[in-house]
Chains A and B, each alone.
Chain A
Amino acid sequence: MEAAVADRRLRRDLDRGIVAGVLAGFARRLNADPLVVRIAFIAITVATGGLALLGYALAWGLMPGDGALARPAASRARRGISPLTGRWRVALGVGFLTLGALLAFRELGLWWSDALVWPLVLAASGATLLWRQSRQRAEEEIAEVSPATRPAPARPESRFTDLYRGGFGVALVVGAALLFLSANDALGGVRDAAFAAIIAILALALILAPFLWRLGRNLAAERAERIRSQERAELAAHLHDSVLQTLTLMQKRADDPREVATLARRQERELRSWLFGGARPEGESLAGALEAAASEVEEAHGVPVEVVAVGDRPLDERSQALVGAAREALTNAAKFAPDAGPVSLYAEVEGGRAQVFVHDRGPGFDPDSIPADRRGLRESVFGRMERHGGNAEVRSRPGEGTEVELTMEVGE
């Protein structure tokens, strides 16, 4: 619905447009082929003696752009529209438009000499190139503020084409100026002065080039250094907030080995996920939620939990029930096998089915006669799984540890 409404608005269609997308925009609004609209426009232009071109220029100014070209360079590149040819086409188009407008004026009886018209056309094209380029620059600089969204590899090449295009734009404008002057015979006396000026500029460039080059390099180095020091500061802040705090706590609790072990373990888990990027967002994925549940139980009971997860899926209601049951099974293992080494949690998501195994090496029990103090297992684990269409099994023998198996169909 939203998209349909947006489509009804009159916008320049930058994807299909040739110059500025004005006609393509009209075509989209009228549900017509852009070609038909373009032919109609040319007919109107001829009929009105070029006045319609003014209308075009007006529409270009007033209609907002829409389409891939309005989006950042990255998405443009993906569509295969090179910003380069796009810019050339626009410059060419502006040249033609200017020419058209001037011809229109001639039609109305206003005509300046050829000496004015052609330089004006060239200058308009050149100025367009330069103007659009500076706008593109500003856009890129904004994009650079958030480095994650920047398409990194495109940089050096685009800088080169920038320069190339910029040079061409300048050449067009300067050429236009020279053309104008020479056409008006104003150049004769100026020629010597211009020659001297060019030599002076060349010499100046030779003198300044190394300096400018060094300046550029220094700026780059400074920038790299700034990024590095930012990273260092972030690292230091993180270590301070986590590792140093924990180490201080551990020294305070040195008389309680279990507490110390728990603290160390929690810190290890936290640092590990930070270092190796293994941190799965807790609220979003099944494996992340299981990790979180495991570290909660570790903290509450001081029993290490070894988590191994294969595959993952987004967290939905069923997965949440599975996590809840797993947490309960872990709590049980921690309560009844507190000194039997780490509890293993293995989770596997495959083919629309999620399975969790919680395994301890504690004293075990006879599952046929679940002791009264293990009601938690019956209700919180079995009950919860069955309510959500899952299944729970427990395998245990006195003296051989306990394993709880949780199975939930979660769909693809």
Chain B
Amino acid sequence: MTAKPSVVIVDDHEIFRAGVRAELEGLVDVLADVGSVEAAVREIGERKPDVALLDVHMPGGGGVEVIRQVAESRPAQRFLALSVSDAAEDVIAVVRAGARGYVTKSISGPELADAVARVRDGDAVFSPRLAGFVLDAFAGQIPEGEVDPELDQLTMREREVLRLIARGYLYKEIALELSISPKTVEAHVSAVLRKLQLSNRHELSRWAVERRLVD
């Protein structure tokens, strides 16, 4: 939490990139903003930002493709997904590809800067919406036999934390509510992120699709 974190903004809408740049002015160090997958891979490789802010939807594969290509040369690069997309399957896909969080574009400048700093420090950033998606994805029973309890289920505590995030609580308020330290809250969120990325619970991939069918 010392120096300002450095970021590269990746989004195919120029107006939006300019907007984010202006909002983050003075709060984080914007190294570059780029509008395509190839440019993103190049700039992130060259400038080595603390955090890459990624749009989910872009021509040429979107955030998932950027993460995939950058990871080949910079496996430790941290990503934060920033999107207007509400399609759960897209959001889950980019987080499963390696993004350490997802925030919606309606987030305010200071909140976004705070989220960037948290991602730089290795924490996970869950917006209320992402928390809702994850609760939905991990809801219900899963068939016996293919269960890896380590990865395929959330603990009661993790559920409680996600619920409070979905209810609009900040981490420190969650800590207060559950009488635990903010560090513990962060540890729970990171554990959920890990499960989200590693679980091969088939619902995670299929659920989003089914949801669309239901709607």
- B129-146 vs A, CB cutoff 8 Å, 1 = contact: the mask equals 101100110010000000
B87, CB-defined interface residue at 8 Å: yes
**A272-B86, A278-B215, A308-B129 known; A346-B136 Cβ under 8 A:** no
Name which residue of chain B comes closest to A279, CB basis: B215
A406 CB to nearest B CB, Å: 12
Contact check, A346 vs B168: say whether CB atoms are below 8 A apart.
yes
**A277-B212, A344-B168, A346-B168 known; A311-B85 Cβ under 8 A:** no
Contact check, A346 vs B132: say whether CB atoms are below 8 A apart.
yes
- B155-181 vs A, CB cutoff 8 Å, 1 = contact: the mask equals 000000001001111000000000000
Residues of A within 8 A of B163 (CB): 346, 348
Alpha-carbon gap, A350 to B85, bound state (A) = 26
- A346-365 vs B, CB cutoff 8 Å, 1 = contact: the mask equals 10101000000101010000
B168 CB to nearest A CB, Å: 3
- B23-49 vs A, CB cutoff 8 Å, 1 = contact: the mask equals 000000000000000000000000000
Cβ-neighbour of B168 out of A275, A310, A359 (below 8 A): A359
A298, CB-defined interface residue at 8 Å: no
Contact check, A308 vs B215: say whether CB atoms are below 8 A apart.
no
Using a Cβ–Cβ cut-off of 8 Å, how many residues does chain B contribute to the interface with A? 20
In terms of DSSP, what is the predominant structure of the interface of chain B? Answer: loop
Cβ-neighbour of B132 out of A308, A341, A350 (below 8 A): A308
Residues of A within 8 A of B131 (CB): 308
B185 CB to nearest A CB, Å: 17
Cβ-neighbour of A346 out of B85, B139, B167, B215 (below 8 A): B167
Contact check, A310 vs B86: say whether CB atoms are below 8 A apart.
no
Name which residue of chain B comes closest to A271, CB basis: B84
Residues of B within 8 A of A310 (CB): 132, 135-136, 139, 166
Alpha-carbon gap, A2 to B132, bound state (A) = 45
Alpha-carbon gap, A361 to B173, bound state (A) = 12
Contact sample, A vs B, 30 pairs, CB 8 Å cutoff: A272-B84, A272-B86, A276-B87, A278-B215, A280-B215, A306-B128, A308-B128, A308-B129, A308-B132, A308-B166, A310-B132, A310-B136, A310-B139, A310-B166, A311-B136, A311-B139, A342-B168, A344-B128, A344-B166, A344-B168, A346-B128, A346-B132, A346-B163, A346-B166, A346-B167, A346-B168, A348-B163, A359-B167, A359-B169, A361-B168
A328, CB-defined interface residue at 8 Å: no
Contact check, A344 vs B167: say whether CB atoms are below 8 A apart.
yes
Residues of A within 8 A of B166 (CB): 308, 310, 344, 346
Closest 4 CB pairs of A and B: A344-B168, A308-B132, A359-B168, A346-B167
